[in-house]
Amino acid sequence: MVIDVHCHIGRSRDTAGTSVPQILRNMRRCHVSKTVIFPIDEKNPGPSYSAANRRIARLVRKHRSFIGCIRLDPNQLPAAFDEIRWAQANGFRAVKLHPRTDRFSIKKMEPLFGEISRSGMAVILHTSHEQNCSPRDWIRFIKRCPKTFFIFAHGGKDDWKDAISVANQFKTVFLETTTQSFYRTGMILKGVGTHKVVFGSDTPYSHVDVELMKFELLLSPQKRRLVLCENAKRILGL
């Protein structure tokens, strides 16, 4: 069983995009059993991605291999509160936050901490060396939500050493290594251990085959099972 925790659906404002048939074909070819899907930064997604989140809900109902993840824009707070409550009521497993693309800081997120914590959903957070995206920028969020699982997408990119440090401080923080180099992926695995890393494809910005190959080269089959499946099952309550 392979679980992909990072897959966008739709057409981005930067022109990147993917379709449901493409995702399903890649899943079949690469033996991916479940894929966490969420909206890309598309045009006119509705207040706090409400329209895009509804499309995700329809796809999850249609395809049993999809796991629902809402995307939030905390710049639209009333709508963001509504989206968290709606997602919890409709069986969503995670929340995607992209502070660079949606241009927000942890201060903007603070009013939502409690609602996210109460929802029981995991948080998939874009991390990198960019403004508002460093893993250390979000320590206050982690401390305020001690029972919430966090997945640091991209393993912090150029701030990968900080991502390792934060993951080692908090048992609820896991790293996902999409778009990281083979070398950095190996260093992340060495730095936190296979019990703290999860698999993602970052479709359409990377590819299932590319991201799987790194773990096939770096890990034994037994250790791959933790990264490709078991860790995600625990985080997502599967």
Helices (H), the chain: 20-30, 50-62, 77-89, 106-109, 113-119, 139-144, 160-169, 182-192, 208-218, 221-225, 231-236
Q: Give the count of beta carbons closer than 10 Å to the beta carbon of residue 101.
A: 17
Predicted pLDDT at 102: 96
Fold (topology level) of 3-236: TIM Barrel (3.20.20)
Mean pLDDT of the chain, nearest integer: 97
Q: What share of the chain is helix, strand, coil (3-state, %, to 5)?
A: 50, 20, 30
Q: What is the pTM of this model?
A: 0.96
- The residues spanned by each domain of the chain are 3-236
Q: Mean pLDDT across the stretch 95-111?
A: 96
Predicted pLDDT at 68: 98
Predicted pLDDT at 92: 98
Span 139-163, pLDDT tens digits: 999 999 999 999 999 999 999 999 9
Q: How confident is the model at residue 197 (pLDDT cuts 50, 70, 90)?
A: very high
Q: How confident is the model at residue 193 (pLDDT cuts 50, 70, 90)?
A: very high
